[in-house]
Amino acid sequence: MDMQVKQPKLGIKERYSLLTRDLGWEPSYQAKEKIFPYTHYEGIKIHDWDKWEDPFRLTMDAYWKYQAEKERKFYAIIDAHAQNNGHLNITDGRYLTAIKLFLQAISPGEYAAHKGFARIGREFEGVGTQVACQMQSLDEIRHAQTQIHAMSNYNKFYNGFHSFADARDRIWYTSVPRSFFDDAMSGGPFEFITAIGFAFEYVLTNLLFVPFMSGAAYNGDMATVTFGFSAQSDEARHMTLGLECIKFMLEQDPDNLPIVQKWLDKWFWRGMRMLTLVGAMMDYMLPKRVMSWKEAWQVYGVENGGALFNDLARYGVRVPKGWDVANEAAEHVSHQLMLGLYQWCFGTSFHAWIPSEEDMAWLSEKYPDTFDRYYRPRWDHIRKMAEAGTPYQNLGLAQLCNTCQLPAVFTEPGDPTTHCHREVEFEGETYHFCSDGCRDIFLEEPQKYVQSWLPMPQLFAEPNFGDVGKWMEWVGLKPGVDNGDYHGSQDEASFEAWKKHQSATA
């Protein structure tokens, strides 16, 4: 009989190093450059991959156990939400516009992040890096799945949820986050991790998740709050990975600094533009508001972001280009985009509405220098048109920015009454931009951005050929049902009827 020898228990650090560093080996019959062909062409120089401190330090075994426990709790709450008609506990049916936007625009971003991290987990040659990216990849697919499951219950009762995957690929406003992730995924591995791991997860994530999750909590949406909690502990790891990748690149070689700075400039601007959708959500779509977009930008952008870039100054990093322009724009962008979403809401898979007097009083208070002066008069005019029976619909197609893919609805820095528009001629074609920031991104890599897939021209392309009805079918939009003003919609009628029934039976 063999002797059973009890092995001494290893500490978490030793187990981790057994898990990671020892997985790597020196290849003997293939050149390293052939196995990892993508880590050089961006120009980033790495001398010692072992210097990458993996902030996750989780064994696969511990990871599965930990995540499985969270899943159990998550699905228990989601089941209870479905069984107890949780969809009636929300403040008002208008709130669902925020959640439809999230499902169509943000959850597919989680899935894109999953694909991207899986890819760079293969492309990076450091073992610690590979393991960290693999775990983040798994986190991201879990986020996509838990979000889709959490929101699927609303799909049983309300319109606008049914075709989120087609909406993600084809409708116009989803092209903003989709093109953001496509841009990152078609960059090299170091640019991807700077874009998603650092600019998005570290610098900007609080401006996305905090508003949506606290908006959900304020408006009685337990399903969304639950996936928010379930994702939160992952986010802490993702943020650490994002910061680590920046420090690693900057510490490995001084030649990396200008490349990293260029990416920070680009991804800060792209991220800020994408978050304009969140700004419109915070200021206009929540029946019970949390804070204004301007306040959120002040806390999470100016203060937290400012502190971060101060800290990174020791590496020679400066605040991203466009920082001051972005800070000033926080006064305006949510109103400018919402006015757009309202006038094109026959082409959205969610409802919009004209802010009430009460809503506008809140906006005046939150934007004392700008709302009454520039935006209230426009809403008043739109209201008059609606009252006269001729609601404002803009049947013209928006000029899209070739970089951020938002309609070019923004104004000149320092002059909120002048529309901002930039043009570039490149190889005989004219390209349009919403800002200097977006134009400069194009100019850095024109060969890349001339390939942008822009959603508006699809109305005239195969299979729609200019037929709006066909286009609606193609994007998964049921006209008169999923789109248009909330007032008079089926969602409004259903919500009011069910609420009445609920309080009558209570």
Interface residues with Zn ion (CB under 5 A) are 401, 403-404, 434, 438
Nearer to Zn ion, 46 or 272 (CB): 272
Q: Which stretch, 134-142, 160-168, 340-348, 356-364, contacts Fe ion (CB under 5 A)?
A: 134-142
Find the Cα–Cα–Cα–Cα dihedral 97, 98, 101, 103, rounded to 10°: -110
Shortest Å distance, C-beta 433 to Zn ion? 6
Positions in 142-161 near Fe ion (CB under 5 A): 143
Shortest Å distance, C-beta 434 to Zn ion? 3
Nearer to Zn ion, 55 or 301 (CB): 301
Shortest Å distance, C-beta 441 to Zn ion? 8
By DSSP bridging, strand 429-433 and strand 422-426 are: antiparallel
| Structural tokens at position 498 | 């069910």
Which amino acid type is present at position 117? F
List phi, psi (to 5°) of 419. -65, 140
101 and 285 Cβ atoms separated by less than 8 Å: yes
If binding means CB under 5 A, how many residues of this protein chain bind Fe ion? Answer: 3
Shortest Å distance, C-beta 127 to Fe ion? 23
Find the Cα–Cα–Cα–Cα dihedral 175, 339, 411, 466, rounded to 10°: 50
434 binds, among Fe ion, Zn ion, none (CB under 5 to 8 A by kind): Zn ion
Nearer to Zn ion, 193 or 434 (CB): 434
Nearer to Zn ion, 241 or 438 (CB): 438
Shortest Å distance, C-beta 436 to Zn ion? 10
243 binds, among Fe ion, Zn ion, none (CB under 5 to 8 A by kind): none
Shortest Å distance, C-beta 59 to Fe ion? 21
Nearer to Zn ion, 338 or 434 (CB): 434
| Structural tokens at position 321 | 């280009």
110 binds, among Fe ion, Zn ion, none (CB under 5 to 8 A by kind): Fe ion
CA distance 15 to 57: 9
Strand partners, 1: none
143 binds, among Zn ion, Fe ion, none (CB under 5 to 8 A by kind): Fe ion
The angle formed by the CA atoms of residues 53, 56 and 58, to the nearest 5 degrees, is 120
93 and 495 Cβ atoms separated by less than 8 Å: yes
Nearer to Zn ion, 176 or 225 (CB): 176
Shortest Å distance, C-beta 404 to Zn ion? 3
Query: How far from chain centre, in Å, is Cα 228?
Result: 14
Peptide bond into 320 cis (omega under 30): no
Which amino acid type is present at position 100? K
Q: Which stretch, 136-144, 260-268, 276-284, 434-442, contacts Fe ion (CB under 5 A)?
A: 136-144
Nearer to Zn ion, 287 or 413 (CB): 413
Site string for Fe ion, 70-109 (x = CB under 5 A): ----------------------------------------
Q: Which residue is nearest to Fe ion (CB)?
A: 143
CA distance 10 to 2: 23
* By the rule CB under 5 A, 201 interacts with Fe ion: no
* By the rule CB under 5 A, 265 interacts with Fe ion: no
CA distance 206 to 200: 9
> Within 10 Å of residue 258's Cβ, how many Cβ atoms?
11
Shortest Å distance, C-beta 412 to Zn ion? 14
Shortest Å distance, C-beta 402 to Zn ion? 8
Query: How far from chain centre, in Å, is Cα 203?
Result: 12
| Exposure string over 29-63, b if 16+ CB within 10 A, otherwise e | eeeeeeebeebeebebebeebeebebbbbbbeeeb
Which residues, 6+ apart, have CB-to-CB distance to 85 below 8 Å?
Answer: 498, 502
401 binds, among Fe ion, Zn ion, none (CB under 5 to 8 A by kind): Zn ion
Positions in 370-429 near Fe ion (CB under 5 A): none
- Of 55, 98, 110, 296, which lies in the binding site for Fe ion, with binding defined by CB under 5 A? 110
Nearer to Zn ion, 96 or 401 (CB): 401
Kindly tell me the sign of the dihedral angle through the C-alpha atoms of 442, 445, 450, 454: negative
**Binding site residues, Fe ion, CB under 5 A:** 110, 140, 143
